[in-house]
Amino acid sequence: MNNGLPGARLRRVTEFIEGNLPRALPLAELSALAQLSPCHLTRLFKQATGVSPHQFIVRRRIDRARVLLAARELSIGAVGHAVGFRSCSHFSATFRRVTGTSPSVYQTDARVLAEHGELGPMR
C-alpha cells in the first residue's frame, strides 16, 4: 500500500506552505508544485500527514499565531493578518475552534505566564 506523498514532494509542499503562510495558498498552486492533480495531492497528502492540505495550513497558521500572540508584540488583528487570515473575525473564530480559547485570552494567559517566569523562550 502507498504511504502517501513521496518524501521529497511532501517536503516541497510543506516547506512552501511554511514559507508562504501569510498569503492565500490555493490547492491548485500546491498541486502544481507537487506535479499532481488537486484530488491526487489531497488524497496522498492526507495519507502522509493524517490531515488534508487545508487542515494542515490552518494548523500551521494557528501554531504560528500562538507564537506571535505569546510574544505580545503585535495586536490580535495584526497577528491574524500576519498568518494569512483576511479578517480579524475569521482569525478569532478559527483560533477559538482550534485551541478552545480566544486569541485575546491566549495572549493574556501568555503574558501572565511570562510575568511569572513560567513561559519558556519563544521560537
Residue 45 confidence (pLDDT): 94
pLDDT tens digit string along 19-62?
A: 999 999 999 999 999 999 999 999 999 999 999 999 999 999 99
Instruction: List, in order, residues 6 or more apart from 54 with CB less than 8 Å away.
Output: 27
Question: Rounded to an integer, what distance in angstroms lies between the CA atom of residue 37 and that of residue 35?
Answer: 7
Please state, as a whole number, how many other Cβ atoms lie within 10 Å of the Cβ of residue 104: 12
CB distance 53 to 30 below 8 Å: yes
pTM: 0.84
What pLDDT was estimated at residue 123? 37
pLDDT tens column, 58-107: 999 999 999 999 998 899 999 999 999 999 999 999 999 999 999 999 99
